[in-house]
Amino acid sequence: MKQFPVFFFFVLYSTCPADDWPKWLGPSENGISAESLPDRLKLNQVAWSAEVGIGFSSFSVAGGRVFTMGHENGEETVWCFSESDGSVIWQHSYPAALMPNLHEGGPNATPTIDGERVYAISKDGQLHCYSFSEGKVLWKKNMLEEAQMYRAPEWGFGGSPYIFGDQVIIESGATFGYDKTSGEEIWRSEKYRPAYGSPIAFEVSGKHYLATLKTDGLVILDPNDGKTLGFSQWRTSFQTNANTPLVVGEGTLFISTGYDRGCALFQFDGTALSKVYEEETMSNHMGNSVLIDGYLYGFDGTAHRGRPVEFCCIALSDGSKKWSTQEYRYGSVIAAGKDLIVLTEQGKMLIGPASPEGFAARVQYQVLTGRCWTPPVLANGRIYVRNAAGNVTVLDVK
């Protein structure tokens, strides 16, 4: 097993001064908020709640508004709520397929806020660009038609729209770069089997690249023309590469997938993509791990798949496991500073310090019932959670 110096890695924090969470994985694109939580914390203070319909879409929060998606009676809805009290500011509904393939179905992707525009993609590939203020549809695309796909991917469209400069990047078999204002296609990559996670940008020597985990493997793209610059095969049982690559250093990417496939660390130097190590110690089924001080925290194992799921910690440097527990079964995790925020599949929230010595929650609360696969979101002193049925609860943790 190849060793990799731990001092090489760092957490990438956004320079955004606000504590908003405007997109999938938050402003820092790593599932970590710069906010800190008080030592004496109560999780039973509900700010507001809502019903949004079936689905697994997470939340985006910016400019005093909260966005998410859900499905009900043959229609999907993009919701825009007031951050302060949960009142509905606008909503847009359209016919869409539920696609309940071994789960409840409904939208997987999370809306993306970019200034005066909001981007959202449905479970069956309907891409909409909305005005932030009133929800007017500025442009739209049918990604099945754009990609000339005769049917939607087996697990639907799961990658959230990703903003890169003047482009919005969309996963639809190929990766597409559209002008984010007009919707005009700028480029498309070569075709791969679909990605269910989201693309992400990274830098090497001041130059930008895109990374996306397709069902075939890890792909590095030139964001100017979509040309493939690097590829490493990475295939998972049942074609479920459903995670977003984590940028953990300059040109350094961590990936992990379920069904005991495991994890790997890759390095791209601007020319070649190489694997640093591959281990079986962290198999993230759907939710990503978070990286704090050289250690990754996440759920190793696949929901409802025989082998018990473990919440665990591994060293980024070599993938070695530091601790694990089967106490929580399946769940998801984000972080606030050095605190882990865990939401179990059964709807219990636990908060405690990240440590390679073990996890001890200083506070826990049964916030929801029903299946909870969607990672929570922390924005402006509030934690947003939902279940598959579309029950939303917003906790005030100021």
Distance, in Å, from the CA atom of 33 to the CA atom of 379, rounded to the nearest integer, reads 8
Give which of 350, 341, 322, 392 is closest to 26, Cα–Cα.
Answer: 341
Distance, in Å, from the CA atom of 346 to the CA atom of 368, rounded to the nearest integer, reads 7
- Taking the alpha carbons of 136, 139, 143, 148 in that order, is the dihedral positive or negative? positive
Q: What token pair was written down for 289?
A: 């791990």
Going by pLDDT thresholds of 50, 70 and 90, the confidence category of residue 305 is low
Going by pLDDT thresholds of 50, 70 and 90, the confidence category of residue 3 is very low
Q: What token pair was written down for 10?
A: 């760092």
Q: What token pair was written down for 275?
A: 């694997």
Distance, in Å, from the CA atom of 101 to the CA atom of 188, rounded to the nearest integer, reads 28
Question: Which uninterrupted H or E stretch holds 212?
Answer: strand 207-213
Q: What is the pLDDT of residue 354?
A: 98
Q: What is the pLDDT of residue 6?
A: 37
pTM: 0.94
The pLDDT tens digits of the residues spanning 39-88 come to: 889 898 999 999 999 999 999 999 999 999 999 999 999 999 999 999 99
Distance, C-alpha 226 to centroid of its chain: 22
- Taking the alpha carbons of 56, 60, 61, 67 in that order, is the dihedral positive or negative? negative
Q: What token pair was written down for 352?
A: 């405690």
With a CB cutoff of 8 Å and minimum separation 6, the contacts of 47 are: 85, 86, 382, 394, 395, 396
Distance, in Å, from the CA atom of 268 to the CA atom of 285, rounded to the nearest integer, reads 24
Of how many residues is the chain composed? 398
Contact (Cβ atoms closer than 8 angstroms) between residue 276 and residue 269: no
Q: How far apart are the first and last CA of the chain?
A: 44
Distance, C-alpha 320 to centroid of its chain: 24
Percentage of residues in the chain with pLDDT exceeding 70?
A: 94
Q: Is the pLDDT of residue 106 over 70?
A: yes
Going by pLDDT thresholds of 50, 70 and 90, the confidence category of residue 240 is confident
Name the fold adopted by 34-54+287-372+374-398. Answer: Lipocalin (2.40.128)
Contact (Cβ atoms closer than 8 angstroms) between residue 174 and residue 190: yes
Going by pLDDT thresholds of 50, 70 and 90, the confidence category of residue 350 is very high
Going by pLDDT thresholds of 50, 70 and 90, the confidence category of residue 13 is very low
